[in-house]
Chain A
Amino acid sequence: MRKVLPILSWIALVGVIAPPVMYLADFVTLESVKTWMLVFTIVWFATAPLWMGRRSG
């Protein structure tokens, strides 16, 4: 689980920036940008505190 959480968090960060980039490329609407950024924001804050700043092992 400890190995999965950081991966989930980093995926969430990519998920936060990906919608704006796709919006810049005119692939998605602004509304979906707002929705997906919020979803991935929630994922980030749900997972990052579980591993950031904690010692492994």
Chain B
Amino acid sequence: MMQGGQPQQYEPVNEYEREPVPEKARLGFKSFIGQYAGEHTAGTELMIGPLFIAAGVAAFDLVAGLLIGNLLAVLSWRFLTAPIATRARLTLYFQLEKICGRKLVTLYNLANGVMFCFLAGSMITVSATALGVWFHFPMPGLNDLYPNSVGWVLAVLAVGTAVAFVAAYGYNIVARFANYAAPWMTIVFFAFGIVGLRQFLDATGTQIHSAADLWHLCQTSIWKGGDPLPGQVKFTFWHVMFFAWFCNMAMHIGMSDLSVFRYARKSWYGFASGAGMYLGHFFAWMAASILYALQLHNNPANTDVLPGPLAGNAVGVAGLMCVIIAGWTTANPTIYRAGLAFQAIFPKSSRYRVTLITGLIVAVFGMFPAVAMKLLGFVALYGLILMPMGAVIFVDFWLFPKLGLASFYAEKSGSSFNWAAAVAWFATLGIALWLVQSGHTQIFFVSLPGWFIAVALYIVASKLVQNKTLQPRPAAEVAHVAS
């Protein structure tokens, strides 16, 4: 349905973008449970689970790492993101603009938009693997970086173009469809695990009489540990724990979900993220990994991580539908968000055109299996790139009033580019990437020290910048951080 040449009724509701969310618009706990459960049972879970197996993860390391890592992620949402969100009640972008200035936020938008494009590209990749089951074209292998067949390119292009048009012109239809699909998808993910487990019992001739028997099967046949597959990084307990904690780092420690929790009545609603973590990032990852472990058990030479064939072999057409829908419904908002980020850079362009072009770029990214096949490392990099701005917001909100420094510096000084925040962002990334490149640590671990580096850099740089431009402020004036 079009109105006045623009499909405005299909545009998602973006309210209170430049003002605090008022009391009447606040939402209850259940809204957040549903949102997190839906968002984190996504197409990419079907890649991540198998990649754990490819990384040679052991049963205890996986289970304990996921339990603790996901708990740390939930606590990060609860105690870092939600308290600021429910006090300031601003979007991430508006709060950052007040701190960093419009030009630096534009740069942040660009980085965010590009990362969203890669992420959405991997979701399109996942969906396209389902088409390969029906059309039998060659699909990429675990270590492929480039498209390997015309059929693959056409399949990704078809899925990507459809998703791009829908993201631009029918966002709300898919958003509604995603709501209907979410409970069903969660159930189908469980089905993957259950069917995979039965097939493991048959393939190994195992009889399960107790929990100890099941655990023995997990340790000896499913998550066996040992060497990773060629080209993959070995995953230990620490890798799993930090991956589970930081795979959504952009959202919690990076503060992207300020935009979500600004609607929450209470900061404890941050615990709602647990629904997404333990349904999606625990059960769904384990279920998907069982299917891949079964594939390797049946044919060790078949190392391809292809969610379509994995799901199709397990539960048939319902599984293939799950792969397509999981990729599509999560790529849809990701492309939309990337479009919004880019539109902020080109404000005179139509949002529909920007989103459409963004979606088509995503489709091209999706043809390259590099991101999907290296998703573990990419997700860690994604969190790292956006994390320093989360540290900047944290320091600005909680520490600056206590240190006698001005919060919302850009707004108060009229600056469009807060150099202190820029130094904190770029220098943290520079140091973190140097630590990784020089072999001092791996990408999965560097974000933790990186956060403290960003905090320290922002405080020191702000002292230097603010002393030059702002007069010292009395303590009472900076008491915006009320109780």
Contact = CB atoms under 8 A, between A and B. Distances in A.
Interface of A: 13, 16-17, 19-21, 23-24, 26, 30, 33-35, 37-38, 41, 44-45, 48-49, 52-53
B187 interface: yes
Given A41-B321, A48-B180, A52-B180, A16 B198 contact: no
A17 B318 CA distance: 11
Interface of B: 176-177, 179-181, 183-184, 187-188, 190-191, 194-195, 197-199, 315-319, 321
Contacts of B187: 13, 16-17
A38 B317 contact: yes
Contacts of B317: 34, 38
Contacts of B184: 13, 16, 41, 44-45, 48
Given A17-B187, A20-B191, A41-B184, A53 B318 contact: no
A-B pairs, top 4 by smallest CB distance, nearest first, are A34-B316, A37-B318, A20-B194, A20-B191
A34 B320 CA distance: 11
Contact of A21 (B176, B179, B194): B194
A52 B181 CA distance: 11
Contacts of A26: 198
26 contacts: A13-B183, A13-B184, A16-B188, A16-B191, A16-B318, A17-B194, A20-B191, A20-B194, A23-B194, A23-B198, A24-B194, A24-B195, A33-B316, A34-B315, A34-B316, A34-B317, A37-B315, A37-B316, A38-B316, A38-B317, A41-B188, A45-B180, A45-B181, A48-B184, A49-B176, A52-B180
B176 A23 contact: no
**Main secondary structure on B side of the interface with A:** helix
Given A23-B194, A26-B198, A30-B195, A41 B180 contact: no
Contacts of A34: 315-318
Contacts of A30: 195, 199
A49 B194 CA distance: 27
B176 A53 contact: yes
B179 A24 contact: no
B180 A49 contact: yes
A20 B316 contact: no
Contacts of A45: 180-181, 184
Given A17-B191, A53-B176, A24 B198 contact: yes
A17 B381 CA distance: 36
Contacts of B316: 33-35, 37-38
Given A20-B315, A33-B195, A41-B184, 15 more contacts: A17-B190, A17-B191, A19-B191, A20-B190, A20-B194, A20-B195, A23-B195, A33-B316, A34-B317, A37-B188, A37-B315, A38-B316, A44-B180, A45-B180, A48-B184
A26 B318 CA distance: 20
B372 to A, nearest CB: 25
Nearest to B192: A20
Contacts of A13: 183-184, 187
A37 B191 contact: yes
A55 to B, nearest CB: 14
B113 to A, nearest CB: 29
Nearest to B313: A30
B449 to A, nearest CB: 43
A46 B308 CA distance: 24
B173 to A, nearest CB: 11
Contacts of A44: 180, 184
A41 B318 contact: yes
Given A13-B184, A37-B191, A52 B321 contact: no
A37 to B, nearest CB: 4
B179 A33 contact: no
A13 to B, nearest CB: 6
Contacts of B195: 20, 23-24, 30, 33
A26 B199 CA distance: 10
A17 B438 CA distance: 49
A14 to B, nearest CB: 9
Contacts of A17: 187, 190-191, 194
A35 B188 CA distance: 14
B189 to A, nearest CB: 10
A51 to B, nearest CB: 10
A7 B194 CA distance: 25
Contacts of A23: 194-195, 198
B281 to A, nearest CB: 20
A44 B197 CA distance: 25
A45 B179 CA distance: 11
